[in-house]
């Protein structure tokens, strides 16, 4: 968009191409913050909006979105974005929809729980998903816990409400 600037920051420095970080935007149409919540205005330049989105620029300057900062899963210090896991599991022919999130674990900090909606009349077992993920995901990214649902909780726009997954 005209007059819009985008920067990506991590650990108080601007990211290089292919380096992941939080997306900040600036422009005449950008709100100075969220209503009754100015926590997005922490550091950096007060003219930049902290979006909470994680992404990167490729070498040609194209912006790629990876996920939300809030959704980041921390497994023994390894940072995992749900979308990567959801894309793999969601490519199974038996799966209609999937969402993953981190749940507390005493040893690792968090482990991954998958919430799975299968296609009508199709059966899938935990072991089927684990075997499908092997070789496509690092072992620590493979969900440890599976919950099967008839549908995922979503808002009016169709976005999955991870906070409603139990």
First to last CA, the chain: 39
Residue with tokens 């440890």: 144
Indicate yes or no: pTM above 0.95. Answer: no
- What pLDDT, on a 0 to 100 scale, did the predictor assign at position 33? 58
Maximum Cα–Cα distance for the chain, whole Å?
54
What are the φ/ψ torsions at residue 145 (nearest 5 degrees)?
-125, 140
Q: Which helix (H) or strand (E) holds 99?
A: strand 95-105
CA 87, CA 97: separation in Å to the nearest integer? 10
User: What local confidence, expressed as pLDDT, does residue 28 receive?
Assistant: 83
Q: For domain 72-164, which CATH number applies: 3.40.50.1820, 3.30.300.30, 1.10.3470.10, 3.40.50.1220?
A: 3.30.300.30
Instruction: State residue 45's pLDDT score.
Output: 59
**Alpha carbons 98 and 85: distance in angstroms, whole number:** 9
Q: CA of 139: how far to CAs of 5, 136, 151, in Å?
A: 38, 9, 27
Domains in the chain: boundaries: 5-70, 72-164
**H/E run at residue 92:** none
Q: Is 37 exposed, middle or buried (0-12, 13-18, 19+ CB in 10 A)?
A: exposed
Per-residue pLDDT for the chain (166 aa), expressed as one digit of tens each?
A: 788 899 999 887 999 999 999 999 988 877 665 666 655 454 445 678 888 999 999 999 999 998 888 889 999 999 899 999 999 999 999 999 999 999 999 999 999 999 999 998 889 999 999 999 999 999 999 999 999 999 999 999 988 998 899 8
Domain covering 5-70 in this structure, CATH number? 2.30.38.10
**3-state class of 9 per DSSP?**
strand
Q: In the prediction, which pLDDT does 38 show?
A: 59
Query: Contact 25/51 with Cβ under 8 angstroms?
Result: yes
């Amino acid at each position: 968009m005209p007059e819009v600037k985008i920067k990506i920051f991590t650990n108080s420095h601007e990211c290089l191409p292919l380096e992941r970080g939080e997306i900040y935007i600036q422009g005449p149409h950008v709100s100075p913050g969220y209503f009754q919540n100015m926590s997005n205005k922490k550091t950096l330049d007060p003219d930049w909006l902290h979006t909470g989105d994680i992404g990167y620029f490729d070498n040609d300057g194209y912006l790629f979105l990876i996920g939300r900062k809030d959704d980041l899963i921390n497994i023994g210090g390894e940072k995992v974005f749900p979308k990567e896991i959801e894309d793999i599991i969601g490519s199974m022919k038996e799966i209609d929809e999937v969402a993953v999130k981190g749940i507390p674990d005493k040893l690792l900090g968090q482990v991954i729980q998958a919430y799975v909606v299968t296609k009508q009349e199709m059966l899938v077992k935990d072991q089927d998903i684990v075997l499908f993920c092997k070789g496509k995901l690092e072992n620590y990214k493979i969900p440890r816990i599976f919950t099967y649902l008839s549908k995922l909780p979503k808002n009016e726009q169709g976005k999955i409400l991870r906070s409603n997954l139990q």
